[in-house]
Homo-oligomer: A and B are copies of this chain.
């Protein structure tokens, strides 16, 4: 059997076209109109794990979308790697901003991706990235180089908060037992400078409904005497940041730990170019919490964003009304040590406190999760470091991410194992945005790097066992 590089070179067309087939399935978990597509996607994942050579492959029912589970067992004395990923995707709206239909994948070259990138919703988040693991396993089985046992757990509700993964994990602790969890659902700095994600922010989300009068009113006849729910909601949102861009929810920063100078230095190893970000986003000025730089603001500090707002007349022309209702979806990214349920409650209480009596308020909490930290002296991190170095010829940098993968904390608590976040995407992949894409270089490099992780991780665990 040829080595991994030449195997990938030979199989390149097949590897890309297989991924493209998966990307055609609009597995949008947040919108019930696509439920059949999500189920079809689970079946496609099942088939690909079967084809890769797993011994056990199961589509496990939950109260929501199923979890696809698989095993390839070699020897119970060898370590076990559990691969986690998700087969559901974000909605594609606003669809009009896509250059091509989001579920009709197309390959185009870009400045960053001279070898081409696949443009499609889910290309990077997370279909392209979990599929690398299936293809890497297939290679290792074919080549007879699989050094340890492998399990797969690919879920279909990550983009809606992994609501049913919790129960699945709690009820299947023995089945899911492992020595390390491997996840590719994050990014790296660049194709020249890989990085391993060592931190994630937590998240909490609420939906706010403000009700004023029981019907839309003529703004001439009532304007000035009846509270307008949009004006009220705007004022409430506006009061959530102070002039230093700090979040004003009482008690919000209580659990945010101050960073030591050493930690701050480690975080700042990553080189962020503010000018390049501004140019990329076509904005004149970056803006955030005083006393922190862009990297810190987006990784170790919490942030609050309104993800959507609506109310009143939004059609063509004008309609001079005081609307009956106004709505907003708000999400907060949490720093390590903040508890999402506590913050969600703080936010609810604060909203109730500042809402005037002239309106009614209804606040619903969506899912949430805590932040996560991976120490750089953990065997999982060290094995990943060696694997990237072997594939990229450059030592990767530990990197905190501002994103959230709430299940990582769940895995640590329930299964007692750490997760290694080996991401191969780039910030420019436009995940959650129109024109999401995943570089073909990144996809293939991922398939190349994973077997190397397996090899180093197994070796390190065996050595560490011997030395015990």
Please give the residue numbers on chain A whose beta carbons come within 8 Å of chain B beta carbons, in ascending order: 29-32, 90-91, 93-94, 97, 160-161, 187, 201, 203, 205, 207, 212-228, 230-231, 233-241, 277, 281-289, 294, 297-298, 301-323, 326-329, 331, 333, 356-360, 366, 401-404, 427, 430-435
Q: B285 near A313 (CB under 8 angstroms)?
A: no
- Beyond contacts A225-B287, A231-B304, A305-B321: 17 other A-B pairs, Cβ-Cβ < 8 A, are A29-B317, A30-B316, A90-B319, A97-B215, A203-B220, A205-B318, A219-B303, A221-B402, A223-B303, A224-B333, A225-B303, A284-B360, A285-B356, A308-B315, A310-B310, A313-B329, A317-B366
State which of B212, B286, B358, B360 has its C-beta within 8 Å of the C-beta of A225: B286
State which of B32, B224, B315 has its C-beta within 8 Å of the C-beta of A31: B315
Closest residue of B by beta carbon distance from A432 = B218
Given contacts A31-B316, A331-B320, contact A356 B309 (CB under 8 A): no
Looking at A160, A238, A311, the one whose CB has the most chain B CB atoms below 10 A away is A238
Q: B219 near A307 (CB under 8 angstroms)?
A: yes
**What are 22 residue pairs bridging A and B, where the CB atoms are less than 8 Å apart in the complex?**
A29-B317, A32-B316, A90-B319, A91-B313, A97-B215, A212-B281, A216-B434, A217-B433, A219-B331, A222-B402, A223-B333, A224-B298, A224-B402, A226-B281, A226-B286, A230-B306, A230-B309, A231-B240, A283-B359, A305-B321, A307-B320, A307-B322
Q: For residue A396, give the distance in angstroms from its CB to the closest CB of chain B.
A: 18
Q: B314 near A308 (CB under 8 angstroms)?
A: yes
Taking the full assembly, how many copies of this chain does it contain?
2
What are the residues of chain B within 8 A of A333 when measuring CB–CB?
219-220, 223-224
With A and B bound together, what is the CA distance between A93 and B216 in angstroms? 10
Q: B320 near A205 (CB under 8 angstroms)?
A: yes
Q: B221 near A403 (CB under 8 angstroms)?
A: yes
Q: A309 near B308 (CB under 8 angstroms)?
A: no
Q: A331 near B318 (CB under 8 angstroms)?
A: yes
Q: B298 near A402 (CB under 8 angstroms)?
A: no
With A and B bound together, what is the CA distance between A285 and B404 in angstroms? 41
Q: For residue A308, give the distance in angstroms from its CB to the closest CB of chain B.
A: 4
Q: A30 near B238 (CB under 8 angstroms)?
A: no
Q: For residue A322, give the distance in angstroms from its CB to the closest CB of chain B.
A: 5
What are the residues of chain B within 8 A of A358 when measuring CB–CB?
283-287
With A and B bound together, what is the CA distance between A93 and B30 in angstroms? 26
With A and B bound together, what is the CA distance between A331 and B212 in angstroms? 18
Given contacts A160-B317, A319-B91, A358-B285, contact A224 B311 (CB under 8 A): no
Q: B315 near A220 (CB under 8 angstroms)?
A: no
Q: A281 near B217 (CB under 8 angstroms)?
A: yes
Given contacts A217-B433, A285-B357, contact A224 B301 (CB under 8 A): yes
What are the residues of chain B within 8 A of A289 when measuring CB–CB?
224
